[in-house]
Structure 1
């Protein structure tokens, strides 16, 4: 319950907020994150997001993923939430509860995209740690970064430390398919331990190494499985296959748990799940997944080789528009597969400059309207979020709302994408962009310096174009 001082301060805003979202009867649930109220409404059409964004203490309002998200700000959001739940007469919900309620309102396609994103949520911290370790060993080992010699050559005493870091940096990638099967099985409602078992089968040491088979140095054993010829090849780097197998394991686990009699369910249900999923892995899902993975990687590499700078500029120009639709969540799976196949990720730098273009646009909006306290309050908060890889406050709070900053930000991203292509910036991992993304940039070819330049270029182009538009066109802003 909010204390009287807090209630007096925020109650007028909260009352008006409740009115503008269709009243108490339209509220299905509410929670808050670090900066935003997240409200699930029975009817989103009743919410007047534009007017809500103009309320005192509010820095922006938008609908995303079937949630009404009201940007309040760090710290303040806790007090506003306390007053809101008390005034609305609703029981506080956790952020997970709100996400579950939101998912129930989404269509099958939206749920599928979100599920794909959720699979990687638990894995990304490990990948970021590994990528950072790769970045450290790259900086220590590469010649020409700090002089003619590498740091290890300049200081031989740290060679052992560098070797230790190098080993740690590659650990997660040796078992990445196993982790993906585990997370996918868990996400799709199966027993995650069974996902681990299937993941271990995918990487079993008695199977021929997939990379060795691919290079032609090893010939795999071929067996007859019920008359079907099956090559006993492991699935190193099989991220797409692991995703599909996580879904298969989860659904088989659910099916056998429902149909096997209780008296023998404890041992027979998991036995059948592993046997059937293992058969499908080698006979159908694995071969199809290899074709699909190769198609995705080859398609991306084809675009680099044939579209060149145009392809990079196009992707960086429209990537944040894709964020508006929510379809960007699928990109993580593509990045993971790209790293598994090539060792590098050229998508992350493009996503970063796309984001910084939008950050530049909201910065330009803020500078152009500096005397407007409301615009300044919203703009500063939104711009600060983009520096840490979060573009939604900038997109929905300013850029999409007024449209012209969105266009200027896309142009900024396009210019940044051209620079990424010309300098060959790549990443060693995924899941981080903007300032945090610096830690996972590959050191080759002055990658870190060029990464900073690319992002600053996108930022400045977006900011300058937005300021110029404001000064020349003088648009009427509500």
Structure 2
């Protein structure tokens, strides 16, 4: 009898699951239909694609879009025009399902990346195109850097004393020593071999053969070369470097481990040479001529001039940023926290990805990253305050969803769907983030890598700073929540009463 009851229970569960999946599919289908209708119908859609959080439309006539109706659709957290595209914010995970339905209903296939890049480029100035190039190069390698950062944090947790008692976990449980060593080795690999990652991504972005980029990156960190970390010892005279003597030139055999800018510029040179050689070398000889010549010439120019020069540029940038934060740390922290989300809105934050990767590679720490991990929590505070203030069930759901997303480090649904449209929550959020940035610098809390933001950021914050870090995080959330709620509850109410009184006097 029990067997029959169990079988019946499993059948009910399967049927219920199928029903729920069907309901969700219908829901996405309805949302997709509404979006298509309000962007002017499928006849108005020229190209279609999506990113992690947004549907992206290239339309024929922007005036045909009913933006107000789009923003009122369930699941839609915001919408805006950018770079020749109409972008509808849906949210991580959900956007894929809605996109599939839009694609199915319109019959329009996902746009080719080259076509979209051409449209974006036509709408941008030189500075914006430069930022986009940085983004295209460094975004693809972020999973490796972030993954390494998390592993490095786990390794530090395992080997640091004072977290789980007076001794480290490794000391308490010697059997995990090997595991801790392996985790730290894996984590350090990403930063030591970062020239390989940068060269691969840069060569791919510039239109060359990515495998030549990998080859170039490996050349720049060859074990035969003097590690770049010993350059200071060379300058002090403690280490004597080896040289190649080429055409009367002395070329130092110096490696570029932990470097970002030298492989980036060298990759551009490599692609330039590769493309030029393919134009002049017969097709039958390209396989045996193009790659060897391009690699040798690029390596020679890099070891001779590009590498030393770009290393100096990287040092100036790193020292400049560190000097700014050291000269007036509290003001610098406040300004960085205040301006981070506006930078995200404009896309200028992409430039800081390369800067922070360079900082981590050279100094193993970044104050900017520790501030960034808290900015999203301030944004979440404003979201949850708006959820309490609104009387609309739909807007409350959007605010809660956006707040949850912000706590996990994804703030786009929040900014475009909740805080920026209402204006004052965004101001309260960035001011709170500024205060948090100032406190972070007062406590000298730094991050050891790129990685998760919000409550999960403990993996990239050294254990000795956890208490202070989460104290500041709590202050940022409470300050943003309280200021948004207070303004929305009282200041907006008073303004409404003044408007009514004014209207009565006029009448």
Query: TM-score, normalised to structure 2's length?
Result: 0.84
Report the CA distance shift for 1:47/1:449 in structure 2 as closer, same or farther (over 3 A).
farther
1:360 positional shift: 1.6
- Aligned match of 1:410: 430
- CA shift at 1:93, angstroms? 1.1
Q: In the TM superposition, what is the alpha-carbon distance from 1:205 to its structure 2 partner?
A: 2.4
Match of 1:337 in 2: 358
- Give the structure 2 partner of residue 392 of structure 1: 412
Query: Which residue of 2 is the match for residue 153 of structure 1?
Result: 171
Say if 2:253 is the partner of 1:236. no
Deviation digits for residues 109-133 of structure 1 (CA, Å, limit 9, x no counterpart): 4343223223223322222232222
| Match for residue 70 of structure 1 among 88, 94, 110 | 88
Partners of 1:35 and 1:73 within 8 A in 2: yes
Q: Which moved more, 1:226-235 or 1:45-54?
A: 45-54
| Residues 1:92 and 2:112 are matched in the alignment | no
CA deviations over 1:72-110 (Å, ceiling 9, x no partner): 4677656654664465x4423169578546545443443
The CA distance in 2 between the partners of 1:91 and 1:282, in whole Å, is 49
What residue number does 2:194 align with?
Answer: 176
Q: What is the deviation of 1:164?
A: 3.0
| Maintained 8 Å contact 1:36/1:71 | yes
Shifted more, 12-21 versus 249-258: the winner is 12-21
Aligned residue for 1:253, secondary structure, equals helix
Q: Aligned residue for 1:440? A: 460
1:431 Cα offset (Å): 4.5
Residue 200 of structure 1, aligned match among 208, 218, 221: 218
- For residue 392 of structure 2, what is the aligned residue in structure 1? 372
From 344, 356, 360, the equivalent of 2:381 is 360
Higher mean Cα deviation, 320-329 or 218-227? Answer: 218-227
Q: Is the alpha carbon distance of 1:222 and 1:119 closer, same or farther for their aligned partners in structure 2, counting shifts above 3 Å?
A: same
Equivalent position to 2:476, from 440, 455, 458:
458
Q: Deviations over 1:434-461 (max 9, x none)?
A: 2443322222xx2233333322221221
Equivalent pairs, count: 471
Once the 2 structures are TM-superposed, how far is the Cα of residue 324 of structure 1 from its aligned partner?
Answer: 0.5
Which one of 247, 254, 257 corresponds to residue 268 of structure 2? 247
* SS across alignment from 2:328: helix
Q: State the 1:226 CA deviation.
A: 3.5
Matched-pair contact (CA < 8 Å) for 1:40–1:101:
no
Higher mean Cα deviation, 167-176 or 67-76?
67-76
For residue 57 of structure 2, give the secondary structure of its aligned residue in structure 1.
strand
1:254-295 CA-to-partner distances (Å, cap 9, x unmatched) read 221122122321111112211221122123311220111001
CA distance in 2, matches of 1:99, 1:154: 55
The 1:90–1:440 alpha-carbon spacing in structure 2 relative to 1, beyond 3 Å, is same
How far apart are residue 424 of structure 1 and its match? 2.3
1:327 is paired with a residue whose SS is coil
Query: Deviation digits for residues 318-341 of structure 1, max 9, x if unmatched?
Result: 101000001111211111100111
Distance 1:45 1:426, change over 3 A: farther
**Per-residue deviation, 1:185:** 0.9
Secondary structure in structure 2 of the residue aligned to 1:474: helix
Offset of 1:172 from its aligned partner? 2.1
What SS does structure 1 have at the residue aligned with 2:108?
coil
Q: 1:106 to 1:448 in 2, by over 3 A?
A: farther
Cα deviation for residue 36 of structure 1 reads 3.9
User: 1:85-234 residue pairs with structure 2 within 5 A?
Assistant: 85=103, 89-93=106-110, 100=117, 103-107=120-124, 108-215=126-233, 216=236, 217-234=238-255
Aligned equivalent of 2:298: 277
In the alignment, the residues of structure 1 paired with residue 386 and residue 74 of structure 2 have an alpha-carbon distance, to the nearest angstrom, of 20
Q: Distance in 1 between matches of 2:134 and 2:198?
A: 11
The 1:18–1:172 alpha-carbon spacing in structure 2 relative to 1, beyond 3 Å, is closer
Counterparts of 2:360 and 2:62, CA distance in 1: 39
Contact residue 330 and residue 441 of structure 2 kept, 8 A: yes
1:173-192 CA-to-partner distances (Å, cap 9, x unmatched) read 22111221112111211111
Aligned to 1:430: 450
> What is the alpha-carbon distance in structure 2 between the residues aligned to residue 45 and residue 453 of structure 1?
48
TM-score by length of 1: 0.88
Q: Retained in 1: the 8 A contact 2:77–2:414?
A: no
Q: Any conservation in 2 of the 1:208–1:233 contact (CA below 8 Å)?
A: yes
For 2:115 and 2:455, the matched residues in 1 are separated by 29
2:49 partner SS: strand
Residues 29 and 90, structure 1, Cα contact 8 Å, conserved in 2: no
2-side partners of 1:85 and 1:341: how far apart? 45
Partner of 1:299: 320
CA-based RMSD of the aligned residues comes to 3.0
Relative to structure 1, the CA distance from residue 192 to residue 31 in structure 2 (aligned partners, 3 Å threshold; closer, same or farther) is closer
Task: Give 1:394 shift.
Answer: 0.7
1: distance between equivalents of 2:338 and 2:25?
Answer: 44
Offset at 1:202?
A: 1.0
* Match for residue 369 of structure 2 among 342, 348, 354: 348
Instruction: Give 1:240 shift.
Output: 1.2
Q: Please, which moves more after superposition, 249-258 or 464-473? A: 249-258
Moved more, 74-83 or 102-111: 74-83
